[in-house]
Amino acid sequence: MELAPYLILGSIEGLVTAAVLALMAVGLSLVFGVMRVVNVAHGEFFMLGAVLAWFVADMIGGHPAISFIAALFIAPMLVGSLAIVADTTILKRINYDPERTIVATIGLLYIIQQVTLMTYGSNARPVEPPFNQRISIPWFEWTESGLSMYWPWGLGTTTYKLAVIGFAIILLLAIWLLMTRTRIGLIMRATQLDRDVAQAYGINVDRVYAMVFGLGAGLAALAAVLIVPIQQAHYLMGHDPLLLSFIVVIIGGLGSLAGTVVAAVLIGLSDGLISVFFTPTLAKIIATLIVTFVLIFRPSGLLGKHRP
Amino acid sequence: MSVSETNATRPAAKPLTNVKKSLYFHVGLIGVLFLLQFILPAYHHGNLARIMVLASYAMGYNILFGYTGLLSLGHAMFFAAGMYGMGLPMAHLGWTPEPALVAGFVAGIVVSASIGFLALRTSGVSFMIVTLMFAQAGFLTILYFGEWTRGDEGFVIQQAERVMAGFDLSQPANRYNAALILFSLCLIFTLKLVHSRFGRVMIAIRENEERTQMLGYDVHFHKWMAVIMSGTMAALAGAAYALLFGYAGATFASVQYSIFPLLWVLLGGAGTALGPFIGTLFMFYLIDLSSSFTTAYMLIAGLALVLLTLFLPQGLVGELRRRVMPWLT
């Protein structure tokens, strides 16, 4: 068989990765942009979303679609609330000092991860997708009798994967509208531009910070609920997405939402395509080094503006 | 003694006595550690040897984080550079421990000098992420060359190969004293460094980088040297760990081993010579105790990190210095 069908398959898988990654990285980027802190526990909020989705699906039972939709609402809400509690009890008290925040969120990472290990256990558990029809992708080929169409073996995807891509696009548009067209978005952008001036104009900065931190964590959890029918929920699953979303946020320019989405598509697609050719470990080494050098030689990222 | 005589000697004598006090205190600690080997039961004897090697790693970390104010999240890379720089020639080229130890030392200098050169182009949060990323690339590289490094599984350095200058380092007594020698060298090096002109510039950079630059010091060079000293000390500890405990594995290059020295130093007190040791000792036994009743022992580490940043940002020794012993360095 030719190479092209593999590339198509790689791109679809890559787009699914990109969709989930974009949601998660936008959450991280939002927190960094508005609050100027790096949340190392972001990957654990992602993991918690997946694990809670399993709990919800397990408790409600019934048709997969009902329990999945329930999980889609409940898991991000719970994770967001937990993040708000973490923000008010820990981050606010250390005054969002950048270095101490990193140390504290590393601590939070281990707390969430290990509590999950103690309660949920070390097994990987699946969640049933709400719908999952297979779609075969046709392929065209020139033969002696002209153009003919056939279905290469293994070239196919599922409706659920396509739905994940579509749903992520809708959500990203919603976030963009929230940030640019609503009063809440305006307040968040004002806080991002100048915290002190925003406060002087009567904005409750503490509440904005708590909300942004909760929203960021909720987005990570939402991304996890979407991916959990494809992957499985496991207590260590937050590690790789965390590094990937760091990569995405850095390449896109720290704090720039549009850049983050572009970078997520770029990284997701190239991840899907590179793994067609290279071993995953080598692909990861290359990606990590590229990002490091971007950060060293272009500290504001590819689409970022001047450093604040 | 007359009043005028005390007044005359006071201005010159006071800083000197503080330095001496601190020096005597730490030499006394080394003496206590030497004597402890005769009374400790076998289990704690082995633990303390391990703690002293890990504390040397933490002291290396402390040079950069505690005294120069640069927070690295990638020190496992330096630890592993020493470990593999020593272990690989021993396992594949049949080197004896003496040249292999030198190889580990050189690997530490080379890796820290090149990583430091690149990473120091950034600062603050970017510096943390860049070091984290480099360490991750290093970890993945070790996994990628699994044919030689044996990846996660690691490789064992046989007992027969661990004989250095006639001492079998797998014997508990030899191992303990070798660890003590390494620990003492690192501790004395730290004390000497902190009291030297160079060390004072490092501390000045930690306190106010712009002002230090304005006073005419080459800030970038001092930071670079701090990374090299810190990384090389970490590498030396890594090489010693492989030699004394006969094992090298990719776990020691993982993110977790970059977090550990940060945790130890924070717990004991950043910017104190003794802090890394106290932090390592405390954390080691905390995890040792908790792992006897739960597998989720990293929970303790997580809780410790959060509580420390909230309530004890100075660390244990830092708090001690603030309250009781202001002369401690």
**pLDDT tens across B245-260, in order?**
888 888 888 888 998 8
Mean residue pLDDT across chain B: 84
Contact between residue B253 and residue B132 where contact means Cβ atoms under 8 Å apart:
no
pLDDT at A277: 74
pLDDT at A88: 92
Confidence label for A285 from pLDDT (cuts 50, 70 and 90): confident
Give the pLDDT score at B20.
80
Q: Which pLDDT value is given to residue A81? A: 95
What distance in Å separates residue A40's CA from the closest CA in chain B? 10
Cβ separation of B295 and A117 shorter than 8 Å?
Answer: yes
Q: How many Å lie between the alpha carbon of B254 and the closest alpha carbon of chain A?
A: 12
Give the pLDDT of residue B7. Answer: 46
Cβ-defined contact of A110 to B302 (cutoff 8 Å):
yes
Residue B316 lies in a domain: no
More confidently predicted of B1 and A31 = A31
Which of A102, A107, A118 has the CB atom closest to B302's CB atom? A107
Answer for the pair B171, B244: CB distance below 8 angstroms, yes or no. no
Query: Does residue A55 have a pLDDT over 50?
Result: yes
Phi–psi pair at B95, nearest 5 degrees? -70, 155
| Mean pLDDT comparison of B79-83, B157-161, B299-303, highest-scoring range | B79-83
- The answer to the question of residue B196 being in a domain is yes
3-state DSSP assignment of residue B279: helix
Residue B48 falls inside a structural domain = yes
Which tens digits make up the pLDDT trace of B180-215?
Answer: 999 999 999 998 898 889 999 999 999 988 898 889
More confident residue, A243 or A54: A54
Q: Which of B136, B140, B306 sits opposite A107 (nearest CB)?
A: B306
Strands B167-168 and A139-143: what pairing?
Answer: unpaired
- Chain A residues near any Cβ of chain B (below 8 Å): 38, 90, 93-94, 98-100, 102-104, 106-111, 113-115, 117-118, 243, 246, 250, 279, 281-282, 284-285, 288-289, 291-292, 295-297, 299
Report yes or no: A191 and A203 within 8 Å, Cβ to Cβ: yes
Query: H/E element holding B252?
Result: none
- Residue B128 pLDDT more than 50? yes
Yes or no, beta carbons of A107 and B303 under 8 Å apart? yes
In this complex, do B71 and A291 lie within 8 Å of one another by their Cβ atoms?
Answer: no
Q: Given this model, what pLDDT does residue B223 score?
A: 93
Would the pLDDT of A307 be above 70?
no
pLDDT at A141 over 70: no
Q: Which of A101-105, A184-188, B3-7, B121-125 has the lowest average pLDDT?
A: B3-7
Residue-wise pLDDT for B33-74, tens only, equals 888 888 888 888 888 899 999 999 999 999 999 899 898 989
Q: What per-residue confidence (pLDDT) applies to B267?
A: 83
Confidence (pLDDT) at A303: 54
> pTM of the predicted model, to two decimals?
0.79
Q: Which ipTM did the prediction report?
A: 0.78
In this predicted structure, what is the pLDDT of residue B4?
Answer: 46
The two beta strands, A139-143 and A146-150, are antiparallel
Burial zone of A23 (CB within 10 Å; 0-12 exposed, 13-18 middle, 19+ buried): buried
Query: Which chain A residue's Cα is nearest to B307?
Result: A104
- Answer yes or no: is pLDDT of B2 > 70: no
Least reliable range by pLDDT among A111-120, B143-152, B216-225: B143-152
Average pLDDT over residues A193-213: 90
Give me the DSSP letters along B56-76: HHHHHHHIIIIIT----S-TH
Binary contact (B121, A297; C-beta < 8 A) = yes
Q: From chain A, pick out residues whose CB is under 8 angstroms from the CB of B124.
A: 98-99
* Structural domain spans, chain A: 18-236
Q: Please report, as a single letter, which amino acid is at residue B139.
A: F
**Contacts of the segment B177-181: beta carbons below 8 A, 24+ positions apart:** B177/B34, B177/B37, B178/B240, B178/B243, B178/B244, B179/B48, B179/B49, B179/B50, B179/B52, B179/B53, B179/B240, B179/B244, B180/B30, B180/B33, B180/B34, B180/B37, B180/B49, B180/B52
Is B248 within the bounds of a domain?
yes
What confidence category does residue A2 fall into, taking pLDDT thresholds of 50, 70 and 90? low
Query: Quick check: B242 pLDDT over 60?
Result: yes
What is the reported pLDDT for A150? 67
pLDDT at position B57: 94
Instruction: Decide: B117 and B224 in contact? Cβ < 8 Å.
Output: yes
Average pLDDT, chain A: 84
Q: What pLDDT sits at residue B16?
A: 58
Indicate if the pLDDT at residue B173 is higher than 70.
yes
The residue of chain A nearest to residue B300, with distances taken between CA atoms, is A111
Residue with the larger pLDDT of the pair B227 and A272: B227
Is residue B301 assigned to a domain?
A: no
Sign of CA dihedral A21, A126, B301, B73: negative
pLDDT digits (tens, 9 = 90+) for A142-163: 667 666 666 666 666 788 888 8
Q: Count interface pairs A-B at CB distance under 8 A.
A: 108
Residues of A in contact with B296 (CB under 8 A): 114-115, 117-118
Q: How confident is the model at residue B6 (pLDDT cuts 50, 70, 90)?
A: very low
Asked whether residue B116 is assigned to any structural domain, the reply reads yes
Q: B124 vs A117: CB contact, 8 Å cut-off?
A: no
- Range of the structural domain that residue B182 is part of: 17-254
Scanning the structure block, which residue is given the tokens 């992420």?
Answer: B129
Three-class secondary structure of residue A164 per DSSP: helix
